[in-house]
């Protein structure tokens, strides 16, 4: 059984179109092949790395106390076979809570390492998948930074393969969001079925 980690950053919850896209993906996964663990960073109360929270993290990493409970999410991330992020496009990127999650799992000695040649990823996962919906269209646009950043961070953590499925133009003038979402859900089901 492979482990799939689903990181739910669909802030609008049941009203979220991105969550619907994620549901299409998750419902299609072969349950005999994948065990799914869902994490909602907001519900988990994850905090950004500031003040005492940052200081404690630095001290524990310095000491090598990597079995501390606060690194649970980093250990979980490092062990997953497939990681799926679901988040809408906000301010040309993604909601801050996803960055908070990334700050929390980015731990030297667990998800990445450092040697004479520099930094290297140490996650065992083979694939990182980003599911998103966007108000406007960003195909071939350099303005969209969310997927671009997640592709880079997936390399940083050592994932071999990155893919993004986006429903673009959900709020665009004259567009029918139901058709756009149905098309993206079809692609998400196809990707899930291929895993």
Binding site for ligand FMN (CB under 6 A): 10, 12, 16-18, 88-92, 133-136, 170-171
Q: What does the DSSP assignment read for the chain?
A: -EEEEEEE--TTGGG-HHHHHHHHHHHHS-TTTEEEEEE-TTTTT---S-HHHHHHHHHHHHHT-TTSGGGHHHHHHHH-SEEEEE---BTTB--HHHHHHHHHH--BTTTEEEETTEEEE----SEEEEEEE-SS--TT-TT--HHHHHHHHHHHHT-SEEEEEEE--TTSTT--HHHHHHHHHHHHHHHHHH-
User: Min. distance of Cβ 15 from ligand FMN in angstroms?
Assistant: 7
- Give the residue closest to ligand FMN by C-beta: 135
Of 89 and 192, which CB lies nearer to ligand FMN in the complex structure? 89
Closest to ligand FMN by CB, 13 or 186: 13
**Shortest approach of ligand FMN to residue 100 CB, angstroms?**
16
Decide whether 9 or 74 has the Cβ nearer to ligand FMN: 9
Give the shortest CB-186-to-ligand FMN separation in angstroms.
17
| Residue whose CB is less far from ligand FMN, 161 or 171 | 171
CB of 167 to ligand FMN, least distance (A): 7
């Amino acid at each position: 059984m492979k482990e799939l980690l689903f990181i739910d950053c669909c802030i609008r919850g049941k009203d979220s179109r991105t969550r619907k896209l994620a549901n299409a993906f998750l419902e299609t996964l072969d349950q005999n092949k994948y065990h799914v663990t869902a994490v909602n960073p907001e519900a988990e109360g994850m905090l950004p790395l500031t003040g005492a929270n940052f200081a404690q993290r630095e001290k524990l990493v310095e000491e090598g106390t990597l079995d501390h409970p606060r690194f649970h999410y980093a250990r979980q991330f490092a062990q997953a076979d497939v990681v799926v992020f679901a988040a809408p496009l906000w301010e040309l990127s993604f909601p801050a809570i996803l960055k908070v999650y990334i700050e929390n799992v980015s731990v030297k000695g667990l998800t990445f390492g450092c040697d004479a040649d520099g930094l290297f990823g140490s996650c065992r996962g083979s694939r990182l998948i980003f599911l998103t919906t966007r108000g406007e269209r960003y195909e071939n646009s350099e303005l969209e930074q969310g997927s671009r950043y997640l592709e880079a961070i997936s390399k940083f953590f050592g994932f071999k393969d990155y893919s993004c499925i986006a429903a673009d133009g959900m709020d665009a003038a004259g567009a029918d969001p139901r058709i756009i979402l149905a098309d993206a859900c079809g692609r998400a089901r196809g990707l899930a079925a291929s895993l």
